[in-house]
Amino acid sequence: MQNEMQEHPADENTPSSRRTTPLMNIPAADIVDAGASAARPRDVDPAEVAILAEAEDPGTPGLRLQELATDEPKARPAVAANPAAGPELLKWLGALDDPAVNEALRRREQAQQTEHGH
């Protein structure tokens, strides 16, 4: 019976062209202008995807979020949307007047208002 089971049955049924599609879902993609997740799969830079994933992970420490925001401009909208980003970092990001960051901050504020309104 175990011989009949396949470790990755989806891989066998998936056309090879679809196997290259990234499996990560980057929620910040809709606010990251031309970010890694907006690129065609063959153009995706794995390092950039990893940076964006770390920037949006609520488990990423505040100091690391600050480093990402400072060193990786494409990660700034994801950092701004991250609930672990502290008030000083959010203030700094807002002072940059970056449209993508401003949109992330606006959405963050809306989400907080919705949470507190219920």
**pLDDT digit string (tens) for 67-76?**
999 999 999 9
For residue 22, name the pLDDT band (cuts at 50, 70, 90): very low
CA dist., res. 90 & res. 62, Å (int): 11
Q: What's the pLDDT at 6?
A: 43
Q: What's the pLDDT at 105?
A: 96
Higher pLDDT, 11 or 38: 38
Residue 104's identity, in one-letter code, is A
Nearest to 77 by CA among 62, 60, 65, 59: 65
Strands annotated E in the chain = none
Residue 51's identity, in one-letter code, is I
